[in-house]
């Protein structure tokens, strides 16, 4: 890689893609390509083939996907399976046929079995059944991982996959219906603070443990994989540490400045007791996270305050 290497970031408007774009720009990369979904429909194979032929990127970072929470995954299983396979298959196969030697595929920790031992190791992939509520998305992402592995094995190209833990940060989704736990909490505590520090009700007991990674750290991991030739095809990316949901709530409450009570609704489900990534392989090749949870939450809340008026509710169509 050099600073003029032509790099295509698929999904450059999303939380992860925009973070990768920022990281590369800050490092002096000057030849980045991004196309909105209106400019390039990644579900259209011919459109992607034509794009590669015209733009001829030298490296591709695939941060594009149809994403959503448990409700969206459950209500739209076909879209989550088919559209994600279309997007990644067109990008991966198109890049391979266009002679592109470097491809980084971004996935999710949901590719691992529901009852896999903790922390989650890369070798646990395909050893047991998936979490039923998001298996459609997970299966699509698994096919992307295996496609990159197959190209790497058969043709020797540097195609690899990075599986992040729970990400949060700038340009996150703060919609109550489709967001994940951390951004949803930020918005809940913020609105309660503005409502005379009203009590905040949260689901479950607060005892489950979760791992979180600031999205700019994820972007740094992508850049590291871009600039180095890593020896394996699949790497977990995370902090390697987890906290209870109660600890998370207290950290967010402090960052927001909410002074009311937190009420735990034990009639609501807790979900999986623990979900932690084993990140020893990424550490072994020389990368580790730098943003601690309290600092990352403070940065995210500041961004939320600066953009709260234009944050839109995300709806599935």
165 in a labelled binding site: yes
106 in a labelled binding site: yes
Diameter of the chain measured on Cα atoms: 62
16 in a labelled binding site: yes
Q: Is 159 a catalytic residue?
A: no
Q: Which residue has the tokens 């991004």?
A: 34
In this structure, the strands spanning 243-244 and 209-210 are antiparallel
The catalytic residue among 29, 112, 137, 168 is 137
Which phi and psi angles does 231 have, rounded to 5°? Answer: -75, -20
260 in a labelled binding site: no
| Nearest of 188, 167, 144, 148 to residue 18 by alpha carbon | 167
286 in a labelled binding site: no
Q: Which residue has the tokens 């400045």?
A: 257
Question: Contact 179/244 with Cβ under 8 angstroms?
Answer: no
210 in a labelled binding site: yes
82 in a labelled binding site: no
38 in a labelled binding site: no
| Nearest of 192, 117, 194, 105 to residue 143 by alpha carbon | 105
Question: Contact 271/232 with Cβ under 8 angstroms?
Answer: no
167 in a labelled binding site: yes
Binding positions for NADP(+) are 11-17, 106-109, 141, 164-167, 180
Q: Residues comprising the binding site?
A: 11-17, 106-109, 141, 164-167, 180, 188, 203, 210, 270
Please identify every residue annotated as catalytic. 137
Known binding residues for substrate: 188, 203, 210, 270
């Amino acid at each position: 890689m050099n600073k003029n290497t032509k790099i295509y970031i698929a999904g450059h408007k999303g939380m992860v893609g925009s973070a990768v774009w920022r990281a590369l720009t800050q490092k002096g990369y000057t030849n980045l390509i991004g196309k909105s979904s209106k400019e390039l429909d990644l579900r259209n194979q011919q459109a992607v083939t034509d794009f590669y032929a015209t733009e001829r990127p030298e490296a591709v970072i695939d941060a594009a996907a149809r994403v959503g929470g448990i409700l969206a995954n459950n209500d739209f299983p076909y879209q989550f399976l088919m559209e994600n396979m279309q997007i990644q298959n067109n990008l991966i196969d198109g890049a391979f046929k266009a002679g592109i030697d470097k491809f980084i595929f971004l996935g999710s920790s949901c590719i691992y079995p529901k009852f896999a031992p903790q922390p989650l190791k890369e070798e646990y992939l395909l050893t047991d059944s998936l979490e039923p509520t998001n298996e459609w998305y997970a299966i699509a992402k698994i096919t992307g991982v295996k496609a990159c592995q197959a190209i790497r094995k058969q043709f020797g190209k540097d195609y690899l996959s990075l599986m992040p833990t729970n990400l949060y940060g700038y340009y996150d989704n703060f919609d109550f219906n489709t967001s994940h736990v951390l951004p949803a909490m930020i918005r809940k505590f913020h609105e309660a603070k503005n409502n005379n520090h009203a009590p905040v009700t949260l689901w479950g007991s607060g005892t489950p443990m979760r791992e979180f990674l600031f999205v700019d750290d994820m972007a740094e991991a992508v850049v590291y994989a871009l600039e180095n030739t890593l020896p394996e095809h699949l790497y977990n990316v995370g902090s390697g540490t987890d906290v209870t949901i109660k600890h998370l709530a207290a950290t967010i409450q402090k960052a927001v400045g909410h002074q009311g009570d937190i009420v735990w609704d034990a009639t609501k489900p807790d979900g999986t007791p623990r979900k932690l990534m084993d990140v020893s392989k990424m550490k072994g090749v020389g990368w580790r996270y730098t943003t601690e949870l309290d600092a990352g939450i403070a940065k995210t809340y500041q961004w939320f305050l600066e953009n709260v008026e234009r944050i839109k509710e995300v709806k599935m169509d």
